[in-house]
Amino acid sequence: MFNFRLQTILDVKKTFEDKALTEFSEQQKEFEHEKETLKKIKEQKIKLINSFRELKGQSTNIYEIILRSSNIKQCQKNEALQKERVQSAGVKVDQKREALLEATQKRKMMEILKSKAFEKFKANEIRLERTAIDEMAIVRHNRRERT
């Protein structure tokens, strides 16, 4: 029976890869969430700008103009902050992707070692089997010659 002597290490590498994959997926979801939030902020800003444009040509008090103007400025600030969050989340996704790639490469390296060890095991088993068959053939031949 084949027993890979580094199986424990391979299992640990698989666990690290699974963990890296989970972290990558979570970070990617966070990145998508941040992008969606940015999209909503941009849509809100466009609505505010359009509502501000609708005031053109109408008699409006200054308070309403100042209020809408400050809302647009606040929305622009929120947009700038959200862009930074999106960029930061993108960097984190790249880092998690690199960690996942590294974990996958390490696991594959161990699996290649396991595969090579299994091939050696099979070759040794075939050699032992052939040796046993040869010995049985010699024993039979010797018995026939004695009789």
DSSP for 42-93, please give it: HHHHHHHHHHHHHTTTS---HHHHHHHHHHHHHHHHHHHHHHHHHHHHHHHH
Q: What is the pLDDT of residues 35-69, one digit of tens each?
A: 999 999 999 999 999 988 887 777 778 888 888 88
Question: Could you tell me which CATH number the domain at 7-112 has?
Answer: 1.10.287.1700
- Residues 24 and 96: beta-carbon distance below 8 Å: yes
Contacts of 110 (CB under 8 A, 6+ apart): 6, 9, 10, 13
Q: What is the mean pLDDT of residues 64-76?
A: 90
Q: What is the mean pLDDT of residues 6-17?
A: 96
- Residues 119 and 71: beta-carbon distance below 8 Å: no
* pTM listed for this prediction: 0.76
Judged against a pLDDT cut of 80, whether residue 95 lies above it is answered with yes
Query: Could you give the count of Cα atoms lying within 13 Å of 146 in the half-sphere of its Cβ?
Result: 6
